[in-house]
Amino acid sequence: MKRRTLMAAATVLPFAQARAAEKTKIVWWHAMTAALGEQVNRIADEFNKSQDAIEIQAVFKGGYADTMNAAIAAFRAGQAPHLVQVFEVGTGTMINAPGKVVKQVWELSKETGVVLEPKNYIGAVRGYYSLPDGRMASMPFNSSTAVMWYSKDAFKKAGLDPEKAPTTWQEVVKAAQAIKAKDAAEIPMTSSWVSWIQMEQYGALHNLPFATKENGFAGLDAELSFNSKAHVKHIDRLLAMAKDGTFKYSGRDNAPDQLLVSGKAGIHFNSSGMRGDMVKSAKFEWGEALLPFDPEVAKAPLNSIIGGASLWTMTAPGRTPAEYKAVAQFLQFIGKAENDAYWHQHTGYVPVTLGGFELSQKQGFYEKNVGADLPVRQLSRGTVTPSSKGLRLGRLVEIRNIVYEELEKAFQGGQTGQQALDTAVARGNKVLREFQKSIKA
Amino acid sequence: MTGQTKPDYLSHAVLALGVFLFALPVWLVLAGSTQDSDAITRGEISLIPHLSGLSSYPRVLTEGTMGTEPVWHMLLVSLGMALCIALGKIAISILSAYAVVFFRFPFRKIAFWSIFVTLMLPVEVRIIPTYSVMATFGLINTFTGLWVPLIASATATLLFRQVFVAIPDELVEAARMDGAGPLRFLKDIVIPVSGANIAALFVILFVYGWNQYLWPLLVATDPGLDTIVIGLVKMIGVETQTDWSAVMATAVLALLPPVAVVLLMQRWFVAGLTEGEK
Amino acid sequence: MDRRTTFDGWLLPVLLVLPQLLLTGFFFYWPAGEAVWSSLTTQDAFGTGVVFVGLDNFSDLFGDPLYRQSALLTVGFCLAVAGLAMGLALALAVFADREIRGKGTYRTLLIWPYAIAPAMSAVLFLFILDPRVGLLGRWLNRHGVDWDYHLNGWQALTMVVLASAWKQVSYNFIFFLAGLQSIPRAVTEAARMDGAKGWHRFRTMTFPLLAPTTFFLLVVNVVYAAFDTFGTINALTHGGPGKDTETLVLKVFRDGVVNQDIGSSSAQSVILMLGVIAITAVQFRFMGKKVTE
């Protein structure tokens, strides 16, 4: 305890100096590189120019995992940033953060009197970052969803209609076979983020629970349930495709992206955020389509779920109400329709507010960029069910890694689809219990 | 003497192969730095540099790319950090090794062993507690914070200890006879005698400091404190297109200073490194 | 290990040794102590709730077959990297020690890669061995070799061993070359007179004389392979496919940094620290003996 006081003293000093200066300084840690990093800096600049009481400093802290890790380490040392961008899989850890680690959005809004209205945000986005009763915990920022990308050139070569993307998995398999038969692409089909897209998104679309307790939203004692018959059926399909050479597992996370951009893949699954890259570097005709579904599992597909990150307000010893108010004002600023629309149109992420979406429509963005509204449409289709509103599981990153590991073993031929998912569920449940134990501590 | 008449073809072949294996990956990056980023993304990298593409160098040097600090600034931070680590570590290590070897004082063994135990223990395994210690001292986000924790290690102390132990007793006796104090002995005899070792350590520590990644990323949040290695990683986009030619040009620039240090000091480097070990 | 002649007084040496002791205390013992304490607890990611659990974290680890598997993998990996890096370096050093033209140039060209950062060597290898983007990777696939380290565990392991060893060859080369040069010419000449042929001469004369260097390098290389390869492996394979390239240090990281399981990760750090201390102690006994001889 003594050490904590010491640390508190060490942190209060610099802030006392900041207060003496005119502007309230706000530090925002983010994980956006390259062009996205530029956009983040632009937002910060715009905000700083829009008023003269607050100065926000956007700081890059490495990849998503690095950023979250740095924020946690900083909190432990009493030096947390005001705002931190946390990827969607970190939500379980942040929302379950004990006591006064974070100030959830509803709390921040209530304390500072700055209105941050949940209704302004798109349902599928808001839901991922809200408490079960609808109060928002973190502020949606960069959101994407998964879509299917395909090479129109490969489709033409394979004798398929390039303007008619397959909508069911049965059609996808046939298309991949046609591509292989005509040698229209080196790799008929591949997928990035296999756990997110082929397990989590697939489950949402078909109303299959990934875990009990409403995918974890309703309690820390949730157990994984992605080894159901319907899940196994999909994995077996991918395994069969891998065997006859129509699907190629090409690495974790977004490592396989290169295959599509370079024109080597016929069909690819990845985040909708890939659009910018495609526009810039794909030297062939390509298409973006809704995620396919399996009519034998569900009559019609539900909404897909989001990926990306949200902004969390963190606490630190000696932080003043004025600083929290400044944070709230900044959050309000980025949620304005014009700012959200600008972000959406310049990054490939979906708009997170209804206002941003409508403004983009009004500005004619989707006429100039045909198909750019497809992710939003996919996100807002149908009625959200407990299985399609996202995941709220602690240590989800680790669970995804476990899914990768077990699927990799299956793709190597070391085990069947059922064995892979059974083992992944068993190992994942152990992780969930550890997490539960640590929260109760 | 050996009466060799014809060239030793086998040796040339083996050594040339070794040189080739080392040079190839770096050549690839050098060639890539002059080519079109999109082509690199598509896997169409060529082994022949395009001389017209050299413009990426002045561009990254003065402006950086994709919103990073200009590369010259990051090079400067790296240089400062590497120099502080190298010189700082050499200084404290010489002093402590000198004390341990040339004196008998209470708790000498304990002092030596408590330093020695930390030998080779990488920062990585204790990085988070180290961060909170730094926060206690208010060193987060300062230049000092970048290098001070990295000079706490025993390797250099051990090397100097080996060197000092080998200094002949006669020299010490002679010094005492002349009435030279311990500090004069250190300055006039010990340091000059271990010149090659100091140079060698300088090279090792400079390279070590220059190549740090994890620690600077955690401890410095101010973009003005970005080192070149951090900057390089920042440029490689996670969810977006990477400007590969700029990344590769930066990689080449990031390589130059440590390679230059190794090559320029090669003679002392090799001699000093191996002398302590023998 | 002690000198016969020393200076008198104790205040000065204490002052001289103090800076290093303070730094070691603050940046080694303090954090290490925290790590030991954390290894005996279960806590949430933010460190607000901490429960003492005794040795539970350790017994969980030793009971976990995945941990044992990772430990085994690490041993194999270290030996492979050390063997390869030292073997290549020794071969190069033997030839560079011969009287040939341009040997100075060869030496320089073999030493400079020492300066390359581990994180960078990973990027370099990606451009060579990636099955689709890499030069060699593409060539292999075009010529009927199914090269894909994303799915093939042995290929992945081969690649991380190659990338890790590559970076270390220069360092070993320097030491072996120096070792060879310190062997008196008279000894090798005498062996030559006796008619000992190249390989035989190397095996019976040169290699035994290099034993101290070899032992020293073995320790250094094993520690390098166990710890400093983190950046390389993480960038190339993330420990996959499956867990086929997940060494212990990668696991510490994954559990501590990605998974925020501070208790277990700290326990693993403590085990690693003890391992390194043990290796160092062995090495020191050896070095210490050598010096007094």
What tens digit of pLDDT does each residue of A209-252 get? 999 999 999 889 999 999 999 999 999 999 999 999 999 998 88
Per the model's pLDDT, the better-predicted residue between B210 and A277 turns out to be B210
Give the pLDDT mean for C251-269: 83
How close B121 gets to chain A, by Cα (Å)?
21
CA distance B254 to A25: 33
Distance linking the first and last C-alpha atoms of chain A:
17
pLDDT for the residue A239: 97
Angle, helices B71-102 vs B228-235, to 10°: value is 140
Model confidence at A6, in pLDDT bands (50, 70, 90)? Answer: very low
Contact predicate C150/C239, CB 8 Å:
no
**In this structure, are residues B167 and B247 in contact, taking their beta carbons and an 8 Å threshold?**
no
Using the Cβ of A101 and the Cβ atoms of chain C, whether some distance falls under 8 Å is answered with yes
Q: What is the count of structural domains for chain C?
A: 1
pLDDT tens digits along A392-403: 998 898 899 899
| Closest residue in C to A264 (Cα–Cα) | C132
Residue C120 lies in domain: 56-292
pLDDT at C258 over 70: yes
CA C85 – CA C217 distance, rounded (Å): 10
What is the DSSP secondary structure assignment for residue C206, as one 8-state letter? I
Helix (H, G, I), strand (E, B) or coil at A219: coil
Q: Give the separation between CA B206 and CA B258, rounded to whole angstroms.
A: 7
H/E run at residue B193 = helix B191-193
Q: Which helix (H) or strand (E) holds B208?
A: helix B195-210
Query: Which has the minimum average pLDDT: A52-61, C79-88, C274-283?
Result: C274-283
CA distance A49 to chain B (A): 19
Domains and CATH numbers, chain A: 2-143+306-368 (3.40.190.10), 144-305+389-440 (3.40.190.10)
- In this prediction, residue A45 carries a pLDDT of 94
Cβ distance of A38 and B66 shorter than 8 Å: yes
Q: Is residue C21 part of a domain?
A: no
Work out the pLDDT band at A164, boundaries 50, 70, 90.
very high
Cα dist. A183→A156, A158, A172, B140 in Å? 12, 7, 16, 56
- Look at residue B6 in the predicted model and tell me its pLDDT: 66
- Residue A268 contacts residue A256 (beta carbons within 8 Å): yes
Altogether, the residues listed in chain A come to a count of 441
* pLDDT value at residue B67: 61
- For residue B258, give every residue at least 6 positions away whose Cβ sits within 8 Å of its Cβ, in sequence order, or none: B82, B206, B207, B210, B211, C115, C116
- Give the pLDDT score at C281: 79
- Which residue in chain A has the smallest CA separation from C154? A412
C139 within domain boundaries: yes
Contact state of C240 with A397 under an 8 Å Cβ cutoff: no
Tally: H helices and E strands in chain B: 16, 0
Asked if C46 lies within 8 A of A434 by C-beta distance, the reply is: no
CB-based contact A305:A381 (threshold 8 Å): no
User: Closest to C17 (Cβ–Cβ): which among B19, B99, B207?
Assistant: B99
Residues A246, A239: Cα–Cα separation, whole Å: 10
Supply the pLDDT for residue B168. 86
In angstroms, how far is CA A142 from the centroid of its own chain?
8
In a domain, C27, yes or no: no
Token code pair at residue C68? 């044992």
Q: Is the dihedral of CA C43, C44, C45, C49 positive or negative?
A: negative
> Which residues of chain C does B8 touch, with a Cβ-Cβ cutoff of 8 Å?
98-100
Give a yes or no: residue C72 inside a domain: yes
Give me the half-sphere count of Cα atoms (radius 13 Å) on the Cβ side of residue A243.
11
* CB spacing of A75 vs C261 below 8 angstroms: no
| Cβ pair C120:B254 closer than 8 A | yes
All residues of chain B having their beta carbon less than 8 Å from the beta carbon of residue A73 are 128, 131-132, 218
* pLDDT of amino acid B238: 53
Q: Is the pLDDT of residue C129 over 50?
A: yes
CA-to-CA separations, A331 to A68, A97, A299, B69, in angstroms, rounded: 19, 21, 40, 26
In a domain, C239, yes or no: yes
CA B109 to chain centre: 30
pTM of the predicted structure, to 2 decimals = 0.82
Checking if the pLDDT of A20 tops 50, the result is no
What residue has token string 């709220």? A392
* Angle separating helix axes B266-277 and C153-181, nearest 10 degrees: 90
Per-residue pLDDT at A269: 96
CB contact under 8 A, A62 and B217: yes
Q: Is the pLDDT of residue B246 over 80?
A: yes
Task: Choose from C51, C67, C149, C260 for mutation: most chain A CBs within 10 A.
Answer: C260
Chain A to chain C, count of Cβ pairs less than 8 Å apart?
93
pLDDT at B5 over 70: no
Q: Distance (Å, rounded) from C-alpha A237 to C-alpha C289?
A: 64
Q: What is the model's pLDDT at position C187?
A: 75
**CA A69 to each of CA A107, A138, A286, C258: distance values in angstroms, whole numbers, following the listed order:** 24, 17, 37, 7
Going from the N-terminus, what domains does chain B have, and what CATH number goes with each? 56-277 (1.10.3720.10)
Measure CB to CB from residue C24 to each of B47, B118, B266 and give the nearest one.
B118
Report residue C236 CA to chain centroid gap: 17
- Average pLDDT score over residue span A327-333: 96
CATH classification at residue C172 = 1.10.3720.10
CB A119 within 8 A of CB A126: no
Mean pLDDT across the stretch C212-231? 86
Q: Which is it for the CA torsion A63, A66, A69, A75, positive or negative?
A: negative
Distance CA B169, CA C32 (A): 38
For residues B103-125, average pLDDT: 76
> CA nearest C24 in B: which residue?
B152
Letter string b/e over residues A260-293, b meaning 16 or more CB atoms within 10 A of that residue's CB: bbbbbbbbbbbbbbbbbbbeebbeeebbbbbbbb
The DSSP result for B215-255, as a single string, is HHHHH--SGGG--HHHHHHHHS-SSS---HHHHHHHHHHHH
List of E strands, A283-336: 286-289, 306-314
- Residues C151, A431: C-beta atoms closer than 8 Å: no
Six-digit token string for A110: 């209530």
The arithmetic mean of pLDDT across residues A115-120, rounded, is 92
Alpha-carbon distance A265 to A248, whole Å? 9
Instruction: Please check whether residue C107 lies inside any domain of the structure.
Output: yes
Q: What mean pLDDT value characterizes chain C?
A: 84
User: How are beta strands A24-30 and A83-87 bridged, if at all?
Assistant: parallel
Instruction: Return the SS3 of A367.
Output: helix
* Maximum mean pLDDT: which of A285-294, B140-149, C48-57: A285-294
> Is C276 a member of any domain?
yes
Whether B251 and C132 lie within 8 Å, measured CB to CB:
no
Average pLDDT over residues A258-280: 86
Is C4 within the bounds of a domain? no
> For residue B165, what is the nearest residue in chain C, using CA coordinates?
C3
Q: Degrees (nearest 5) of the Cα angle A99, A66, C113? A: 155
Per-residue pLDDT, A11? 45
Chain A touched by C154 (CB under 8 Å): no
* Contacting subunits of C (3+ beta carbon pairs below 8 A): A, B
Cβ pair A249:C151 closer than 8 A = yes
A438 and C261 Cβ atoms separated by less than 8 Å: yes
Q: Which residues of chain B does A263 touch, with a Cβ-Cβ cutoff of 8 Å?
A: 42
